[in-house]
Structure 1
């Protein structure tokens, strides 16, 4: 049973071994007053040579770290309310919004989530990690307003990763599931966009090209529903939008024996 349990350290080691953090040296953490975030920041700085940028009141963060017996010497502590870059970041934010005053932008950027997002936009940080305290909707909003969507992406989406130990192979099998938190009822166009974005993210994180299967509540056509009819009609138009990706018409997460029912195949291509 222990072989099936992965700790946070195991997952991070797996990501590092797959070179997914190559090129990332400065990570903004706008929820630094949360002890989970402080603990993670200490590990990143001391074990992985990554510089966490902790947003908050430095004196309070250091006091909290002392109580938790955490070493933050490898972290950068930044107070968005007093940081000297806020004026330049406000002007950068207003550059695409002529009707917005710099004063209004400055007030907004005093909030850690927006200040941190603008650090990424300006190039002063490589990435931002949030969601332990802030609701997902606010994190997405800040990202869209301050950083924007990547070129070619029209639909923001989410995904989560599952790391499955494999006894027969070194390392771990990584599965990505999308979209589980943002788009409740995507159109076929949005579904294609989500598939592309998720595949690109998988490649960047894991370092290999993914095989894609479309999740449906209709296993091998066993269910009928208007939504399925629409996808069946529209989806072939969007397959060309997903170049160089392996699209699986019918795929299993876990290999099944020949004695098991085909209805247990729960990942089904909608066609």
Structure 2
């Protein structure tokens, strides 16, 4: 069974409410309709009703089971404006400016998510990452103990013997441009937790570099090695069953023969299923290349460390990818706190 089919199967038993801020876009509407038709939960589209209906008509998408909310006419608009005004960043804001901000679908959707009116949010289908990340970061607080908000992609590579039967988590491919040691360790920790939740497999985290275990020593490779040590310490102190090693070159991380040659005795080399990239350039480039060259299924960006589950879609996302991301976000919402157990509690899938 493909990874995404297993996600659908689990979510059918625990349907969730997913919000799509880009509710006037045909491919988003199609994704929302399929999400509902698969009995995965409730889909909510944001936008002017007439615009949503016109876009749906162009693709013959039935809206009878889709919820549509126009932020400008919503009953909760006065409440959301008041809550916006309580934030330090917006204290003293004029009423017209507050209305303009909160009626933007990304802000309105983030406020609905924060208030628990939906279980997850899937945005970014028509705008830059900053446009969806900014309101999420402003309105949704980080989970306790999370140092940095980051993101990951789940990739299912066809006919692939590496990773978890071709399944990989790539991080960070969408949020932190040049992570510090602390940020890089946080990325590794959160990506490992997510991998464990989705697969039940022990996360085997490779901290990627152009060097393997000090074969080249520079300030950059030392940063990766230091982040590896921090993440390993966290796993031990919090009783999280996970393996981590670094720095490792990509081939040493996923190819058993190369891993045995370059990093003998490593618990990760040749067996990695979570790949942590040293910066956003390398992570995003690798993601796009693997996705397109191997025709992999790619789901994300899944945001890591927020108090509520959310995702930032690629503007090139297909309908199938939108449905898949919505389902994954819904699956996260089933038992979101399991990703973030209490200090000292044993982590189990």
Please confirm whether the aligned pair reaches a TM-score higher than 0.5, indicating the same fold.
yes
Q: For the aligned residues, what is the CA RMSD? A: 3.2
Q: Which runs of 4+ in 1 moved over 6 A?
A: 265-269
Structure 2 counterpart of 1:60, from 34, 51, 55: 51
Separation of aligned partners in 1, 2:227 and 2:116: 40
Max Rg structure: 1
Q: Would the alpha carbon gap of residues 152 and 55 (structure 1) be closer, same or farther in structure 2, given more than 3 Å must change?
A: same
Q: Which residue of 2 aligns with 1:247?
A: 243
Q: Which residue of 1 aligns with 2:266?
A: none
**Equivalence map 1:94-113=2 (5 Å):** 94-97=85-88, 99-101=91-93, 103=95, 104-113=97-106
Between 1 and 2, higher relative CO (CA 8 Å, sep ≥ 6) is seen in 2
**Deviation (angstroms), 1:128:** 0.6
**Equivalence map 1:97-136=2 (5 Å):** 97=88, 99-101=91-93, 103=95, 104-136=97-129
> Is residue 2:178 matched to residue 1:182?
no
Structure 1 counterpart of 2:217, from 214, 224, 247: 224
**Deviation (angstroms), 1:131:** 1.8
Q: Would the alpha carbon gap of residues 206 and 22 (structure 1) be closer, same or farther in structure 2, given more than 3 Å must change?
A: farther
Q: Is the 8 A contact 2:146 2:186 kept in 1?
A: yes
TM-score, normalisation: structure 1: 0.81
Structure 2 counterpart of 1:39, from 22, 30, 33: 30
TM-score, normalisation: structure 2: 0.64
Q: Would the alpha carbon gap of residues 262 and 209 (structure 1) be closer, same or farther in structure 2, given more than 3 Å must change?
A: closer
**Deviation (angstroms), 1:49:** 3.7
Separation of aligned partners in 2, 1:67 and 1:15: 30
After the TM superposition, which of the residue ranges 142-151 and 96-105 deviates more from structure 2?
A: 96-105
Q: Which runs of 5+ in 2 are unaligned?
A: 264-268, 277-349
> Is residue 2:67 matched to residue 1:76?
yes
Structure 1 counterpart of 2:134, from 133, 137, 141: 141
Separation of aligned partners in 2, 1:209 and 1:102: 51
Partner-residue secondary structure (3-state), 1:213: strand
After the TM superposition, which of the residue ranges 219-228 and 141-150 deviates more from structure 2?
A: 219-228
